[in-house]
Amino acid sequence: QKEVEQNSGPLSVPEGAIASLNCTYSDRGSQSFFWYRQYSGKSPELIMSIYSNGDKEDGRFTAQLNKASQYVSLLIRDSQPSDSATYLCAVNYRYTGNQFYFGTGTSLTVIP
């Protein structure tokens, strides 16, 4: 069973703070990792992908991957109220082609 675990939250941070979202996965055969943002009533939107150990930055977002510890995280700097959403972690395993395994998501609220 391939599992992807996220803290469901809700996570609340004040505007301007750093929001830290975490995801752990069970299978060391994992190859690719993705973060999606989902606003209430909308579909998931890709915001970051990461494949190698270390950090990857894109604007206010930083994805961090540690394959030895089997976790991937998303940092949101200078959080804005518009960042309030559910964040989904997705993992792609080496032998399942393009099939993803999703966490259940972390709900983030940024308080003005």
Partner 1 sequence: DVKVTQSSRYLVKRTGEKVFLECVQDMDHENMFWYRQDPGLGLRLIYFSYDVKMKEKGDIPEGYSVSREKKERFSLILESASTNQTSMYLCASGGGGSNQPQHFGDGTRLSIL
What Rg value do the Cα atoms of the chain yield, rounded?
13
Joined tokens for residue 63: 């994805």
Strands 71-76 and 100-102: unpaired
Q: How far is the CB of 15 from partner 1 (least distance, A)?
A: 27
Per rule CB under 8 A, is residue 85 in the interface with partner 1? no
Per rule CB under 8 A, is residue 104 in the interface with partner 1? yes
CA 5, CA 86: separation in Å to the nearest integer? 14
DSSP assignment of 6-43: E----EEEETTSPEEEEEEES-TTEEEEEEEEE-TTS-
Per rule CB under 8 A, is residue 31 in the interface with partner 1? yes
Q: How far is the CB of 51 from partner 1 (least distance, A)?
A: 6
- Options 15, 42, 57, 66; binder of partner 1; rule CB under 8 A: 42
Per rule CB under 8 A, is residue 39 in the interface with partner 1? no
Please give the span between the terminal C-alpha atoms of the chain, in angstroms, as a whole number. 40
Q: Per CB under 8 A, which region of 16-24, 38-46, 62-70, 74-82 contacts partner 1?
A: 38-46
Per rule CB under 8 A, is residue 107 in the interface with partner 1? no
| Binding site residues, partner 1, CB under 8 A | 31-32, 34, 36, 42-46, 49, 51, 88, 90, 92-94, 96-100, 102-105
